[in-house]
Structure 1
Amino acid sequence: MTSDRKIWLYDTTLRDGSQREGIALSLEDKLKIAHQLDQMGIPFIEGGWPGANPKDVQFFWKLKEEPLQQAEVVAFCSTRRPHQNAAQERMLQSVLAAGTLWITLFGKSWDLHVTEGLQTNLSENLAMIKDTIEYFRSQGRRVIYDAEHWFDGYKNNPEYAITTLQAATEAGAEWLVLCDTNGGSLPHEISQIVKEVNQAIPQIQLGIHTHNDAGTAVANAIAAVRSGVTMVQGTINGYGERCGNANLCTLIPNLQIKLGYDCIEAEQLTQLTKTSRLVSEIVNLAPDDHAPFVGRSAFAHKAGVHVAAVEKNPLTYEHLQPELIGNQRRIVISDQSGLSNVLHYAEKFGIELAKQDPTCRQILEKLKTLENQGYQFEAAEASFELLMRSALGQRKEMFQLKGFQVHCEIHRDIDHFEGDALATIKVEVDGKDLLEVAEGNGPVSALDQAIRKALVKFYPEIAKFHLTDYKVRILDGTAGTAAKTRVLVESSNGQERWTTVGVSANILDASYQAVVEGIEYGLLLQSSLKTKVTTI
């Protein structure tokens, strides 16, 4: 790619992204994210506002001990206060102490913010911008100027808004970043205004910073690039205040794969999905399964017609190869499925099954019957494999349930409730009856512990299994307390995870079904792993 197609990516997940409601990053969290962004080839990583809080100060100092490989870490701050001297501002001294080569400085572009927010006059605002940038330049720093509320300011008073940019340019800013801070602009407005700025201030590098309040942050950023912007600011997964920032996980593949801009290396682009999920894990927010490009469902195919077509040629229902951005194709099994879905899963599970085999259609009919009753196999592939093996006579009965009881005792304190649960279970294994009792911090936990306690004597591998997630869904809310319940249980052996499902009008019965199938599938998995090891 030629140099005129180069787009400089600027990530602000650690600063703007962390302003999202519900996100609180520790120092260790920030370091992990920074190093992953560095590995992915992001050239500019905004680390935070030194001096605003102790954590950000520690972050910049810690990076001196664990330096990034290629990215420039950037400190962030505002212009000096009205009628002050930049060289005497303690806030700016803290920014310099962070020791970064690059500093991103934001200033006011909207006259409303100058008079109402800063409560000063328009000429003093220009002096604040110029004085602060000149001071940083005198200290050997390179400056990116974020023109806050740029688009609203330009719409309200274009002449003054342009003057603020000219002040920043004359003072030595190397980039002028146009910010749609309130996130209310539309792509056609962004495109036109960027073109007008390019005409008013030629020979300057422009950037774009968009928010998603109108749902157009990504589209606005693309429009800006198409109009001459060469720096794009955004966050991983679009995290940010209110409705979020431009989502780099959507922007990067659109710019690079669709439009041919040079953002990062192709090999680094394959880390995009991993990076998205890693960051969501670190910030403790569930990944958006339906996110473009990187979502778990982004390349999932459910309808039988779609599956049959995709298996012949993926281009029929995919706009690009999922491997380019590190994602993968998934065939979903559900009541919308056809024989192609069943055959796909048979191959995935290592089961020999031909389309002409009557069992294939029997499995499909069983699937649709159960999903009509409330089962959901697209989220519980382990249960579907067990269903297939049962239909093919490949499912071994490991034990028989003779019965179980669960007793819950609730203690009410002044401020909260505390509950203990006791489960008793009786099972038969190889002709022997086993009776076990176990406690838990809830009925499902106690039941799970009792089952494991009874079975671990015959199947010691169970000791490695544990529940990692438990979800309950009421299927027919109009039935009140008699409503049917679906339970999804995710289990793990420390290396792999699998999900099983149970459905019943009794939540404990539904939980029992899901827990037991989770144990059974774990044993099946361990058996297949042993077989593979033996073969090797």
Structure 2
Amino acid sequence: MRILTFDTTLRDGTQGENVSYSVDDKLSIAMKLDDLGIDYIEGGWPGSNPKDKEFFARAKGLKLHHARMTAFGSTRLARNPVEKDASVNALVEAETPAVAIFGKSWDLHVHRALGITEDENLKLISETVAYLKKFGREVIYDAEHWFDGFKANPSYALQTLEAAAKAGADALVLCDTNGGTLPHQLAEIVLEVRKRFDKIVGIHCHNDSDVAVANTLAAVECGATHVQGCMNGYGERCGNANLASVIANLELKLGHTTIGVEKLGQLTQVCRYLAELANLPLANNQPYVGKSAFAHKGGVHVSAILKDSSTYEHIDPKATGNRQRVLLSDLSGRGNIIYKLEERGLGEKLSPEARRELLERIKDLEYEGYDLEAAEGTFELLVREALRPSAHLFDVTNYEVATRSTPSGKSATTASVIIKMMDGETLSASALGDGPVNSLDLSLRQCLSHRYPEIAQVRLTDYKVRVLDSKPGTASKVRVLVEWSDFKRSWATVGVSENIIEASFKAMCDALRLELMRLHDSTEDLDAALKDYSWGV
């Protein structure tokens, strides 16, 4: 069955905490959603704020190939005739092919929020719908608080839908606005609505009981053919139904058609794009599209997916544009190492004993607090050292850091580093930098650049510190994750210590040691095998 998709990320989604898009962001997202195959894009409320007003003015120039741009608003105010209601006329002026308006379904809201009679509320609904239909708009009526209203007064709640339907509403959308309805309750109520109305029935769920996606699917099973939600589950309080999960479930589990299987492969990329523009991390454990959705860590699981991925994966990750990942940690078994080596064409390059030693080293490091899931550079270094055990290019003999205050009130930090190269030569350097990490970086780089001028191309691009155990207070063990780039590729290395400077220096040494090994062991087969730096992330 064809199920219509209605995305409200740009309206309801922006009501979520920390979710904010500029007008340019919203226009870009609209094009992305259109390309994905979404049927309706709710762009905002043109009568409520300058940003949405500008968005709809500029959206008139968008060349959408599939989606119908939709403006959102409410029924007229009780004190205004519909033709003089500013909010309603803002919907007309937005010139979108579809409009979505919400009205009150719950008699509690009619009396307490609006302060009018039940009959007056019915007039608000019918007159607003009829007025918008005069302008040739497709009208989607959102029955706010529908399920709470039906539970409290089913007869009146149904009258509100009747008012919208008789006035010409094209779709009747049942809203679980407070997110408190459970799937079995929702299903019974949707079935009752389907018995009474031939119109398109839609569903709009919030996630306050953590069942918004389940509720949406239950509604479809009971006859709803229009689903609303936000990508990544954005939205007020606990969010709206995650439209990405709804789409994937409808297509892959229930056999319905939404955006189509051929478009489904774009789902992961679109969700990550929206998260990037919102400046929010996409939840790793988000179903179907999250980084961890098809990640395997336990040795038993990895051993099984090596034989048949369906043993621990409910779908092919490629169906939604995601990918399978195998993580390395203290939970790793031989299967994890075999998977990683064979995945990169290195299966025959390490003996069983070398594989076992590599696994034990990984487990020991994880026990100490190293996180190789995020530090793909450190893992690559471990593999290269296992493949080339004699290629230990340098050791740090000594390093010192000193910070002093200056008359200007600023601090000055000097670092000195002494290293011993593999051939026995000793090199030393000192540098003045902006803090201990920068000073050590400059000193170490000066030492190595005498022999390897290419090392000057490596740059530190990000630096993160995490306290691993808070009980000892300032003596806590910390983990430092450092990201690097040589302008062609990027990687991360990790260091752990009770001393934040030592942890940082360990990560720094590993990053530069790795780059030197790449230069030293620039063999075609090894470079090709290690070109994807996503082994542990």
State whether TM-score is above 0.5: yes
State which of 319, 322, 330 in structure 2 corresponds to 1:327.
Answer: 322
Q: Per-residue displacement from partner, 1:460-508 (whole Å, max 9, x unpaired)?
A: 5445443343332222322232222222222234454322111111111
Task: State the match for 1:215 in structure 2.
Answer: 210
Counterpart CA distance in 2 for 1:527 and 1:159 is 79
What percent identity do the matched residue pairs reach?
A: 46
Query: Is the 2:393–2:517 Cα contact (8 Å) retained in structure 1?
Result: no
Question: CA, structure 1 residues 447+153, in 2 after alignment: closer, same or farther (shift >3 Å)?
Answer: farther
**Residues 1:478 and 2:471 aligned together:** yes
State which of 483, 486, 510 in structure 1 corresponds to 2:503.
Answer: 510
Q: Secondary structure at the match of 1:82?
A: coil
Task: State the match for 2:415 in structure 1.
Answer: 424
Task: State the match for 2:308 in structure 1.
Answer: 313
Q: Secondary structure at the match of 1:120?
A: coil
**Residues 1:389 and 2:380 aligned together:** no
CA apart distance, 1:96: 1.6
CA apart distance, 1:188: 0.4
Task: State the match for 1:499 in structure 2.
Answer: 492
Q: Per-residue displacement from partner, 1:332-384 (whole Å, max 9, x unpaired)?
A: 11111111211222234443546753111111122222222222222222212
Stretch of structure 1 that moved more, 186-195 or 26-35: 26-35
**Residues 1:233 and 2:224 aligned together:** no
**Residues 1:85 and 2:81 aligned together:** yes
Q: Letter of the 2:187 partner, please give it.
A: S
Query: Is the 1:408–1:419 Cα contact (8 Å) retained in structure 2?
Result: no
Counterpart CA distance in 2 for 1:48 and 1:198 is 29
Q: Letter of the 2:82 partner, please give it.
A: A
Question: CA, structure 1 residues 128+185, in 2 after alignment: closer, same or farther (shift >3 Å)?
Answer: same
Query: Is the 1:485–1:507 Cα contact (8 Å) retained in structure 2?
Result: yes
Q: Letter of the 2:368 partner, please give it.
A: Q
Query: Is the 1:399–1:427 Cα contact (8 Å) retained in structure 2?
Result: no
TM-score, structure 1 as length reference: 0.91
**Residues 1:302 and 2:297 aligned together:** yes
- Report the count of equivalent residues: 525
Q: Per-residue displacement from partner, 1:52-82 (whole Å, max 9, x unpaired)?
A: 2221122122223332221111100111100
Stretch of structure 1 that moved more, 205-214 or 389-398: 389-398
Task: State the match for 2:149 in structure 1.
Answer: 153
Query: Is the 2:394–2:513 Cα contact (8 Å) retained in structure 1?
Result: no
Task: State the match for 2:170 in structure 1.
Answer: 174
Counterpart CA distance in 2 for 1:276 and 1:183 is 23
Query: Is the 1:423–1:450 Cα contact (8 Å) retained in structure 2?
Result: no
CA apart distance, 1:410: 7.7
**Residues 1:267 and 2:235 aligned together:** no
CA apart distance, 1:280: 0.9
Q: Letter of the 2:328 partner, please give it.
A: I
Q: Letter of the 2:377 partner, please give it.
A: A
Q: Secondary structure at the match of 1:478?
A: coil
Unaligned runs of 5+ in 1: none
Counterpart CA distance in 2 for 1:270 and 1:237 is 16
Task: State the match for 2:533 in structure 1.
Answer: none
Q: Secondary structure at the match of 2:60?
A: helix
Q: Secondary structure at the match of 1:65?
A: coil
Question: CA, structure 1 residues 69+372, in 2 after alignment: closer, same or farther (shift >3 Å)?
Answer: same
Task: State the match for 2:44 in structure 1.
Answer: 48
Question: CA, structure 1 residues 343+150, in 2 after alignment: closer, same or farther (shift >3 Å)?
Answer: same
TM-score, structure 2 as length reference: 0.91
State which of 425, 433, 437 in structure 1 corresponds to 2:431.
Answer: 437
Counterpart CA distance in 2 for 1:294 and 1:419 is 46
Stretch of structure 1 that moved more, 477-486 or 224-233: 477-486
Map of 1:91-490 to 2, 5 A cutoff? 91-201=87-197, 203-353=198-348, 357-393=352-388, 396-408=391-403, 420=411, 422-428=413-419, 431=425, 433-440=427-434, 442-452=435-445, 454-456=447-449, 458-490=451-483
Query: Is the 2:429–2:447 Cα contact (8 Å) retained in structure 1?
Result: yes
CA apart distance, 1:254: 0.9
CA apart distance, 1:308: 1.3
Question: CA, structure 1 residues 497+117, in 2 after alignment: closer, same or farther (shift >3 Å)?
Answer: farther
Question: CA, structure 1 residues 449+12, in 2 after alignment: closer, same or farther (shift >3 Å)?
Answer: farther
Stretch of structure 1 that moved more, 302-311 or 418-427: 418-427
State which of 23, 26, 31 in structure 2 corresponds to 1:27.
Answer: 23
Counterpart CA distance in 1 for 2:525 and 2:385 is 22
Counterpart CA distance in 2 for 1:66 and 1:173 is 26
Task: State the match for 1:70 in structure 2.
Answer: 66
Q: Letter of the 1:116 partner, please give it.
A: R
Counterpart CA distance in 2 for 1:271 and 1:331 is 22
Counterpart CA distance in 2 for 1:208 and 1:153 is 15
CA apart distance, 1:391: 2.6
Counterpart CA distance in 2 for 1:477 and 1:490 is 24
Q: Per-residue displacement from partner, 1:267-302 (whole Å, max 9, x unpaired)?
A: 210011111111111101111111111111111111
CA apart distance, 1:18: 0.7
Query: Is the 1:343–1:354 Cα contact (8 Å) retained in structure 2?
Result: no
Question: CA, structure 1 residues 62+448, in 2 after alignment: closer, same or farther (shift >3 Å)?
Answer: farther
Counterpart CA distance in 1 for 2:66 and 2:354 is 56
Unaligned runs of 5+ in 2: 529-537
Q: Secondary structure at the match of 1:81?
A: coil
Question: CA, structure 1 residues 173+461, in 2 after alignment: closer, same or farther (shift >3 Å)?
Answer: farther
Counterpart CA distance in 2 for 1:199 and 1:213 is 28
Q: Per-residue displacement from partner, 1:499-530 (whole Å, max 9, x unpaired)?
A: 21111111111111112323343555678889
Q: Letter of the 1:46 partner, please give it.
A: E
CA apart distance, 1:421: 5.5
Query: Is the 1:421–1:439 Cα contact (8 Å) retained in structure 2?
Result: yes
Q: Secondary structure at the match of 1:337?
A: coil
Query: Is the 2:317–2:323 Cα contact (8 Å) retained in structure 1?
Result: yes
Superposition CA RMSD, Å = 2.6
CA apart distance, 1:534: 11
Query: Is the 1:343–1:353 Cα contact (8 Å) retained in structure 2?
Result: no
Counterpart CA distance in 2 for 1:69 and 1:419 is 58
Question: CA, structure 1 residues 352+448, in 2 after alignment: closer, same or farther (shift >3 Å)?
Answer: same
Question: CA, structure 1 residues 528+355, in 2 after alignment: closer, same or farther (shift >3 Å)?
Answer: closer
Counterpart CA distance in 1 for 2:445 and 2:282 is 31
